[in-house]
Amino acid sequence: MAWMCNKCQVEVEEVDDIQIFFKDLSLPEATGFRCPNCGVEYIDRDFVIDQLASAEQMLEGK
């Protein structure tokens, strides 16, 4: 099953260069999906759960 852009209704492309920022910090690039038409980016769910959540907790000092 292919992922589709909600806005353009076209198949999105899998990419590994999504820029992520947290407050004033630039974080390592993320994996996810990008619409070839409008450029909207969707971050992969597993990346958010496995890597981004723990990085956010560390940066917040929790």
pLDDT tens digits, one per residue of 14-28: 999 999 887 787 888
d(CA 26, CA 37): 25
d(CA 60, CA 31): 23
Q: Name the band, by pLDDT with cuts 50, 70 and 90, for residue 51.
A: confident
Greater pLDDT, 36 or 29: 36
CB 10 within 8 A of CB 4: yes
DSSP label at residue 50: I
d(CA 7, CA 11): 11
